[in-house]
Structure 1
Amino acid sequence: MSLQDCAEALRAHDPDRFGICLLAPAGARPKLMTLYALNLELARAPLASAEPLIAEMRLQWWIERLEDIGAGKPQAHELLTPLAEAWGPRAAAFAVLAEARRRDAAREPLDGPDAVAAYVRDTAVPLTVFAAEALAGTAGGFAPPDPRGVFSKRRNTGAARVIAAQAEGVGLAHWLAALPALQGLGLGLWDPSAEALGRIADQAGARLAEAKAQRRHMPRRLAPALFPGAGIRAVLQAAPRGIEALAGVAPSEFRRRLALGGFALTQRWWR
């Protein structure tokens, strides 16, 4: 998978992040494209088999290859080769993204809003932090994530707090938007009641508001990592009405492009 292949995969399956890659500085694009393409593969890996053991073995394969990159071992793989070229040994830290997907291999629903928030903190938040690192480049003012836990007190700068809050809020909203499909895969909620969905939406709104209130701490060059895409507001408004309401709020392609165009002009990532 060349960078062009990564771009085509993102265009087809993750159009919001594809758009962000196009808006990012040229020097950051290889890192962003390979990171987001890896995220796609890791999300698919546990769903490739209905047998939990086989699904987990697929994730373990990715973890071991990422560790190999960290050890300097050459890669002959369509995605891992450009990933290693873009990130070097730092790519080993992405194993945290694969580890977070292990529970998906079991195809077990989440046990309530707190479990959903924990899942998002383990998946969407570190992905966003790594994207911010790609955008930061060699510039100062932003501490890269700790691969053992993404954030530590020593590294928890003002920008990192904003990123964590925005990423969790956006991640919760995206999880809600995907819930009708996730429920059919066994990855939704044991109790997908309107009350539970409303609590998740409330938490998402609170985290987005927190990020907005602290936006002055966010360097402008990192803003693309926080772009929420289109339709966040509609998702959060629909969630308290139940899963059926969520099924009808997917934004149109026009709305997606309009949101991306607005961000390109204003760099306004907050809700």
Structure 2
Amino acid sequence: MSLQDCAAALRDHDPDRFGICLMAPAKARPGLMTLYALNLELARAPLASNEPLIAEMRLQWWIERLEDIGAGKPQSHELLTPLAEAWGPRAAAFAALAGARRRDAAREPLEGPEAVAAYVRDTTVALALFAAEALNGTIADPAATAEGRIIAAQAEGVGLAHWLAALPALQGLGLGLWDPSPQVLAQIAARARKKLAEAKAQRRQLPRILAPVLFPGAGLRAVLDAAPKGIEALASAVPSEFRRRFTLGAFSLTHRWWI
């Protein structure tokens, strides 16, 4: 998988992040494209088999290969080779993204709002922090820097909203909630709104170069409004393709990421 192949995979299966890559400076694109392509593969890996053990083995393979990159071992793989070229030993840290998907391999629903938030922090938030690193060359630490805190808050809010939007499909895969009642969904939506407001209040502290990794996507408000009405309402809150493209185009002009 060359950079062109990474771009094609993102364009077909993760168009919003493909758009983010196009907005980034040219020197940051290899890092972003390979990171997002890896995330796409890690999200797919545990769903490729209904057997938890086989799904777990797929994830473990990725973890070991990423650790190999960290140890300086040469790679001969369509994705891992350009990933190693773009990130070097730092790519070993991405094993955490694979580890966070182990729950998906087990096909076990989440217990409630706190478990959903923890899952989003381990996947979406961690991914956003790595993406920010690709853009500005420094590690955005949410525990030590203002930039890291803003990115973490925005990514959690956006990630929770996107998780809610995907919930009708996730329930069918056994990856949703044990209790998908409107009350529980309302709590998740309320947490998302809180995190989005937290990020918005600090927006002036974030450099413009990092704006792309905070892109919220289209229809976020509609999803959060629908959540307290139940899963059926969430299923009808998905934005149209035209709305999605329009929102991404508008963002490319304004870089206004806050909600």
Taking structure 2 as the reference length, the TM-score comes to 0.98
Kindly, what percent of the aligned residue pairs are identical? 80
Residue type matched to 1:169 in 2?
Answer: G
Q: Which has the higher helix share?
A: 2
Structure 1: distance between partners of 2:238 and 2:34? 26
Quote the residue 1:169 is aligned against.
Answer: 157
Quote the residue 1:148 is aligned against.
Answer: none
Q: Secondary structure at the match of 2:73?
A: coil
Taking structure 1 as the reference length, the TM-score comes to 0.94
How many residues in Structure 1 have an aligned counterpart in Structure 2?
Answer: 259
RMSD, matched Cα: 0.9
Deviation of 1:238 after TM superposition, in Å, equals 0.6
Deviation of 1:144 after TM superposition, in Å, equals 4.1
Quote the residue 1:45 is aligned against.
Answer: 45
Deviation of 1:143 after TM superposition, in Å, equals 3.5
Does residue 192 of structure 2 align to residue 204 of structure 1? yes
Runs of 4+ in 1 over 3 A off after TM superposition: 142-145
Structure 1: distance between partners of 2:12 and 2:253? 24
Structure 1: distance between partners of 2:95 and 2:35? 12
Deviation of 1:120 after TM superposition, in Å, equals 0.5
Q: Is the 8 A contact 1:143 1:157 kept in 2?
A: no
Structure 1: distance between partners of 2:232 and 2:255? 33
Residue type matched to 1:228 in 2?
Answer: P
Q: Is the 8 A contact 2:130 2:139 kept in 1?
A: no
Quote the residue 1:270 is aligned against.
Answer: 258
- Deviations 1:81-128, CA, capped at 9 Å, x for gaps: 110111111100000100101111110000011110011011110100
Q: Is the 8 A contact 2:129 2:139 kept in 1?
A: no
Q: Is the 8 A contact 2:183 2:228 kept in 1?
A: yes
Matches within 5 A, 1:47-126: 47-126=47-126
Deviation of 1:252 after TM superposition, in Å, equals 1.3
Q: Secondary structure at the match of 1:229?
A: coil
Quote the residue 2:178 is aligned against.
Answer: 190
Does residue 209 of structure 2 align to residue 224 of structure 1? no
Residue type matched to 2:40 in 1?
Answer: L
Structure 1: distance between partners of 2:98 and 2:3? 21
